[in-house]
């Protein structure tokens, strides 16, 4: 039977920990790396509901994109959801692992998955790492020339966006070149403009980003959750290509924490 260590190693071969940003906390957060794995539950965020699901489905390894323990813990008293999850995971012998910005920066990572979903070609990293031009945040690629509103409708449908926020000051009509970044990618807008993108697709865009850059590029904010839910597919592909007999599930209780009225 596979061990936690073997599964996490195959993920880290794809997305080395060295690629994570300095503020991040990816890796094994709870559990014994030598524990044998019965089944794996894949999710974007580790919540109390998802941990309960893992226990009920007899998954003793949870792999998430967002780290459960991000800012660090100074106590384990059960006052917060993070503390309660960590305590119960230890009691129930469930390991918790995260691959976050290292998965974002890996080639064929989160931004690539978004780009593939939109049919972009000729992909290159938007903000490459100094050590490797094939790794870094965001990607940019060419799209089949498409009228702006038609392309926006495609984005809304592809990612099941309830309310798509976008800028409407760009004077162009047809979208030919698109930048994408999973999660919070507003900081990459200037680089997308510099590289000639007609549109950038990302999440967590602030009001003043729309006002400052809206004339130069179409900004499409699909939401943080919507842009990174594809991380589960990447995890599944990585694991099953190496270990086809490993039992993996997508969480069925995963929910967007943001609601729209």
pTM summary value: 0.96
> Above 90 in pLDDT, residue 260?
no
Pairing of strands 218-221, 165-166: antiparallel
pLDDT tens digits for range 172-185: 999 999 999 999 99
> What integer pLDDT is reported at residue 72 of this predicted model?
82
Region 57-80 average pLDDT:
95
- For the chain, the straight-line distance linking the first and the last C-alpha, in angstroms and rounded, comes to 47
Instruction: Quote the mean pLDDT of the chain.
Output: 97
pLDDT, tens only, 95-124 = 999 999 999 999 999 999 999 999 999 999
| Residues 18-42: tens digit of each pLDDT | 999 999 999 999 999 999 999 999 9
Cα–Cα dist 116/132, whole Å? 21
Residues 14, 239: Cα–Cα separation, whole Å? 10
pLDDT of residue 11: 98
Nearest to 178 by CA among 161, 157, 154: 154
* Predicted confidence (pLDDT) at residue 71 exceeds the cutoff of 90: no
Structure tokens at 157: 């449908």
Strand duo 61-64 + 40-43: pairing: parallel
Which pLDDT score is estimated for 261? Answer: 85
Q: Report long-range pairs for 71-79 (Cβ below 8 Å, ≥24 apart).
A: 71/25, 72/25
Q: Which of 75, 91, 94, 95 is nearest to 83 (CA)?
A: 75
Q: What b/e readout covers 224-260, taking b as 16+ CB neighbours within 10 angstroms?
A: bbbbbbbbbebbbebbeebbeebbbbebeebeeeeee
Give pLDDT, residue 169.
Answer: 96
pLDDT tens across 135-157, in order?
999 999 999 999 999 999 999 99
């Amino acid at each position: 039977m596979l061990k936690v260590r073997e599964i996490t190693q195959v993920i880290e071969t794809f997305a080395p920990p060295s690629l994570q940003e300095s503020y991040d906390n990816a890796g094994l957060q709870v559990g014994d790396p030598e524990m044998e794995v019965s089944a794996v539950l894949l999710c974007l965020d580790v919540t109390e509901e998802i941990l309960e699901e893992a226990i009920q489905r007899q998954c003793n390894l949870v792999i998430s994109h967002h780290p459960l323990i991000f800012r660090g813990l100074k106590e384990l008293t059960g006052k917060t959801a993070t503390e309660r999850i960590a305590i119960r995971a230890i009691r129930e012998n469930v390991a918790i692992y995260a691959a976050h910005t290292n998965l974002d920066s890996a080639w064929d990572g989160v931004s690539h998955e978004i780009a593939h979903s939109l049919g972009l070609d000729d992909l290159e990293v938007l903000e490459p790492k100094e050590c490797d031009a094939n790794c870094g945040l965001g990607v940019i690629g060419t799209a089949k020339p498409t009228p702006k509103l038609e392309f926006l409708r495609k984005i809304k449908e592809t990612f099941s966006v309830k309310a798509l926020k976008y800028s409407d000051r760009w004077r162009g009509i047809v979208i030919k070149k698109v930048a994408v970044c999973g999660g919070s990618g507003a900081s990459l807008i200037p680089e997308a403009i510099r590289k000639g993108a007609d549109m950038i697709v990302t999440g967590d865009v602030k009001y003043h980003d729309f006002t400052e850059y809206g004339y130069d590029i179409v900004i499409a904010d699909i939401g943080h959750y919507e842009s990174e839910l594809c991380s589960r597919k990447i995890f599944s592909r990585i694991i099953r290509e190496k270990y086809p007999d490993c039992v993996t599930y997508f969480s069925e209780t995963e929910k967007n924490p943001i609601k729209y009225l």
